[in-house]
Amino acid sequence: FVERLLGKRPIGMWPAEGAVSEDAVRLMGDLGVKWIATDEGILERSLESGLRSEGFPARELLRPYEFSGVTVFFRDRVLSDKIGFVYQRMNPEEAVRDFLEYLRALHEAYGGEELVVPVILDGENPWPYYPRGGVDFLRRLYSRIAESSFVDFSFFGDVGAEREVLSRVFPGSWIKQDFSTWIGCEEKNRAWEYLVKVRRELEGRMTPEAYSEVLAAEGSDWFWWYGGDHPSLFAREFDEIFRTHLIAAYRLSGLDHPLFLEKCIREEKFVSFRRYPAGPISPVLDGKVTDYFEWLSAGEIDLTQFYGAEEKHVESLLEALFFGYGDDRFYLRIDSRSSFKDLLEEGYGLRFYLCNPRGEFLISVKGHPGLRAELYRRDEGGFSRLAELEACCEKILELAVPTEHLGDDEQELYLVLEREGEAVERYPLSGFFAIPPRSEIEKEDWVL
């Protein structure tokens, strides 16, 4: 990618998050990488020895190393962090003086021998916090180093100092010398599981554009925001964008995406019912409320809560979702602000997406020519038609799904109102509604 973009193959890098392992270093070497850099903490763990005494670096930190034919540099964290976080609050002249005094102390302490001091900022962009964007600081720094008799700049690839061979490379990143910032807790692990499932299912079937979406989802920052260690007001948005990349990989490959990608990794299941299901139901499917009792024991979810002043500044077209079990059927009902039949005649359609232990299902409801409700089940090739469903639509939409197809375990459900194939509204806005299992509903049967 870099070679295509810049016209030259890179020979070295700071890996994402400074993350390394022995296998990763070998892989990079096999791909032609000559040098890499990571944090001093990795060297400390690799040597099983402290590298600083009262903040002063040991000689072991100030040289390059070699592992499996790849040169490995370990950054001076103190000097790097001073540029990243400290010097922005100092007068530029004082900051440059402090930088050079640190290097002069090393030069004098080690008798003037050649030292290698890697200064690396890990993806931080401190310059907006410097006066004049850091221009004054950088110009002074470059000019003072150019005038110095004991310091010189060098590209990493040009460093000629003798390499010391490392017998091991401790696996970890620049943060805490492990990978816990990106993996380990339930949410982070679930995000990796999503990614692995997608890679395995799409292997050999991805277009280049789809592969680009998967690569975008592999960026480490998605996993940074999962879990409780880095709270953000935009956690829901990050979650949705991550999953959108994976969904796009299927779309660009011409495939239906699996419904688990609709599940919020941050565990957003909506279980707040307007009315909790209280027992079995047996409605007459005639597109209207035939009598007061036919849906009385059903569960009811208020759909208007998802669209309003705070979300879309519009009123939702749908008002309520009712659900329940009776005999060998799972019943669904939709109430809309206007007649649901009118919505269908205006070109709207409805899709229910359901997940349960038996698999992933789609219920498609369309109104032209005439009402059609069909049940689909997802397999490797996408959604395949299972059955036509009994349904009726007048003021409301009513339909029944045989439990021989769905079962009667806990279901996760969301619905999409569409028009001409384009989604208009989604309920809930992200994630699923949690529908309790039939056994739990019938256990609560108390309505007379």
- What tokens were used for 194? 């999503």
Contacts of residue 330, Cβ cutoff 8 Å, sequence gap at least 6 = 323, 324, 400, 401, 402, 403, 406, 408, 411
Do residue 439 and residue 409 come from a single domain? yes
d(CA 23, CA 169): 9
Any alpha helices (H) in 204-323, and if so which ranges?
Answer: 208-217, 220-225, 235-252
Q: Residue 441 has what pLDDT?
A: 84
- What tokens were used for 167? 């017998």
The Cβ-side half-sphere exposure at 21, using a 13 Å CA radius, reads: 7
Do residue 138 and residue 202 come from a single domain? no
Q: Residue 124 has what pLDDT?
A: 65
d(CA 446, CA 275): 13
Do residue 16 and residue 138 come from a single domain? yes
d(CA 226, CA 193): 13
173 within a domain of the structure (yes/no): no
Do residue 191 and residue 151 come from a single domain? no
Do residue 237 and residue 379 come from a single domain? no
Do residue 235 and residue 281 come from a single domain? no
Do residue 190 and residue 161 come from a single domain? no
Q: What is the pLDDT of residues 187-204, one digit of tens each?
A: 999 999 999 999 999 999
| Residue in 392, 365, 364, 396 with CA at minimum distance from that of residue 378 | 364
Do residue 59 and residue 154 come from a single domain? yes
- When the pLDDT of each residue in the chain is averaged and rounded to a whole number, the result is 90
Percentage of the chain exceeding pLDDT 90: 73
178 within a domain of the structure (yes/no): no
Do residue 313 and residue 405 come from a single domain? yes
| Residue in 110, 133, 20 with CA at minimum distance from that of residue 73 | 20
Residues comprising the chain, all counted: 448
Q: What domain count does the chain have?
A: 3
427 within a domain of the structure (yes/no): yes
Q: Cα–Cα–Cα angle for 362, 366, 367, nearest 5°?
A: 165
176 within a domain of the structure (yes/no): no
Q: What is the pLDDT of residues 220-278, one digit of tens each?
A: 889 988 887 777 768 888 999 999 999 999 999 999 999 999 888 986 545 567 888 98
Q: How distant, in Å, are the alpha carbons of 122, 245, 257, 345 from that of 238?
A: 21, 11, 19, 37
* Domain end residue (candidates: 165, 198, 229): 165
The CATH number linked to 43 is: 3.20.110.20
312: pLDDT confidence band, cut at 50, 70 and 90? very low
- What tokens were used for 352? 């229910």
d(CA 227, CA 42): 24
* Domain end residue (candidates: 136, 165, 194): 165
305 within a domain of the structure (yes/no): yes
Q: What are phi and psi of 196, to 5 degrees?
A: -65, -45
Amino acid at 119: V
132 within a domain of the structure (yes/no): yes
Contacts of residue 220, Cβ cutoff 8 Å, sequence gap at least 6 = 16, 17, 19, 182
Amino acid at 210: A
| pTM, 2 dp | 0.69
Q: Residue 446 has what pLDDT?
A: 47
* Domain end residue (candidates: 132, 165, 198): 165
Neighbours of 67 (CB within 10 A): 20
- C-beta of residue 76 within 8 angstroms of C-beta of residue 43: no
Contacts of residue 157, Cβ cutoff 8 Å, sequence gap at least 6 = 11, 12, 34, 35
Q: Residue 448 has what pLDDT?
A: 45
171 within a domain of the structure (yes/no): no
Do residue 225 and residue 358 come from a single domain? no
Burial class (CB in 10 A: 0-12, 13-18, 19+), 46: buried
Do residue 300 and residue 319 come from a single domain? yes
What domain range includes position 50? 2-165
Q: Residue 310 has what pLDDT?
A: 38
Do residue 362 and residue 430 come from a single domain? yes
- C-beta of residue 178 within 8 angstroms of C-beta of residue 42: no
| Residue in 75, 49, 71, 50 with CA at minimum distance from that of residue 62 | 75
